[in-house]
Amino acid sequence: MIRFLEISNQTLFYYYLVCNLAYLAMLIIALKTSAAHQRQLQSVSLAWIRQSPLAPPITILAPAHNEEKSICVAVRNLLDLDYPELEVIVINDGSTDRTLEEVRREFGLRLVRSLYIPQVASAPVRGLYRSDSDKRLIVVDKEPGGSKADAVNAGLNAATSPYVCIVDTDSVLERDALLRIMVPLLNDPKRVVCVGGIVRVLNGAEIEGGRVRRIRLPRKSIEVIQVVEYLRAFLIGREAWARGNMLMIISGAFGVFRTDLVRAIGGYRASSIGEDFDLVARLHRHLLDKDEDYYIQFVPDPVCWTEVPSDLRSLGRQRARWQKGLLDVLWANKDMLFRPRYGRIGCLALPYLWLFELLAPVIELGGIVTIALAAWFGVLSRDLMVEFLLFGYAFATVISIGSVLQEELTYKRYNDWQDVARLVTYCFLEHFPYRQMHMIWRLQGLWQYLRGDMAWKQLKRQGMESTRTDVSSALQNEVPGSHQTTGNLR
């Protein structure tokens, strides 16, 4: 028993050492990449892209299921995006509320007879509608497919552009987001096959007419923690992985893909849980099997704002589902591990996801148990245990603070010094007690997957219009320093 605890604690020490060094390396890479990106932006004229006849058309695919609260605001936002040639396809995925009726009333939809070729599989389509007020808007009304992936596939069949941009209808794109995300594709159209943009937390922002008018941190502690998490995940994680052409996920809330490639791999896998991760993994596999020279890129400044869960129950369900999606995709692509054909994806990116993402909550729980037992039996000095835990906590907190400082030094979305101070403060809370809560949610996701529980559990959301109203009143009544801290995220 004693020997087991010694080996276990030593292994755990090296595990966390490698994990922290990996995060440090990603932070350094991300800082350099951000600086290079800022220099590149100075030489790019968005006005040229806006006015150029060479800018390729884009079809926006926006799946919607029971989105009556926010669908009209979302569609207005999409139609108002600044881009030369745009097609917007909203896919009504068997909504049981008034989603379709709201769009019909607002945009004057009429049923059209149009050729619809199901190149990728999806649930049956009931009808196609076009807007009389804006010919760029098409609505695909379909039977419920049980997943976002199935809805996107139906929209993909109706798309007519060489590029598709997949967004969530409960998110808000900044007006110039498409112009910015297309810069890498226009610079290298042969190699760049898809691009992901950054996703930021909408909660707390003031929305008017489908646009973010004022950016403020949310009031709830659980939402602020998610702001820190999103900054770290996107500005450090995805920026660093994309630098090495090893980006494995493009957020389903905002990404642009070559239409022909998505169709070539059969669209989204309708049975997948993490459809955005699954799509990018299969794109890597397809292109590497064909020995193609390609690049999957991330751009940190075209912003998509999305509403995040504001209660612990919804947040726990979301994180459990993300963990199920991670396991589902990694297991489906386990044959890519350590195979020379798949290069750095099979030898670095996927092993990292297995070891430091999928198995992390299991290892962390085991580590808590073995460290406690070792301290109890006197194998591990209690002073050494405290020092080890404090070092891990301090290192992880520094990484989170680095992501906040990177945001403030480069993109400066939070201009109020009180907001910046709150963000830095919450960096100290993210790894205790929030990390432990997140560990439990992820373990629940693994257990649910292993026992076959793949059900989608509805998340509680306010919707864009209610968010705007609540935030406006909150801004009027907010008392600085009055917030209580609760839980956090991954």
pLDDT in tens, 70-123: 899 889 989 999 999 999 999 999 999 999 999 999 999 999 988 788 899 999
Above 70 in pLDDT, residue 430? yes
Q: Average pLDDT for residues 180-204, to the nearest whole number? A: 93
Statement: residue 133 has pLDDT above 60: yes
pLDDT computed for residue 397 by the predictor? 92
Q: Which residues contact 426 (CB under 8 A, 6 or more apart)?
A: 221, 224, 225, 227, 228, 485, 488
Q: Sheet of 58-64: strands edge to edge?
A: 109-112, 125-131, 137-142, 86-93, 58-64, 163-167, 254-258, 192-201, 295-306, 171-173
The pTM of this model reads 0.89
Residue 483: per-residue pLDDT = 31
Query: 475 pLDDT band (50/70/90 cuts)?
Result: very low
Alpha-carbon dihedral angle through residues 340, 323, 319, 253, given to the nearest 10 degrees: 50
Q: What is the pLDDT of residue 74?
A: 86
Judge contact between 121 and 89, C-beta under 8 A: no
Which contacts qualify for 76-81: CB closer than 8 Å, 24 or more apart?
76/106, 76/209, 76/210, 77/172, 77/173, 77/210, 77/211, 78/167, 78/173, 79/134, 79/136, 79/137, 80/175, 80/210, 80/211, 81/173, 81/175, 81/177, 81/178
Residue 362 has pLDDT above 90, yes or no: yes
Distance of CA 318 to the CA centre of its chain: 12
Give the pLDDT mean for 335-340: 96
Over residues 220-229, mean pLDDT: 95
Kindly state the percentage of the chain with pLDDT values over 90. 62
Percent of the chain with pLDDT over 70: 92
Mean pLDDT of all residues in the chain?
Answer: 87
Report pLDDT for 271.
84
Cα–Cα distance between 67 and 46 in angstroms, integer?
Answer: 32
Q: pLDDT at residue 16 above 70?
A: yes
CA-only gyration radius of the chain, Å: 23
Over residues 367-403, the pLDDT tens digits come to 889 888 888 888 877 777 788 788 888 988 999 999 9
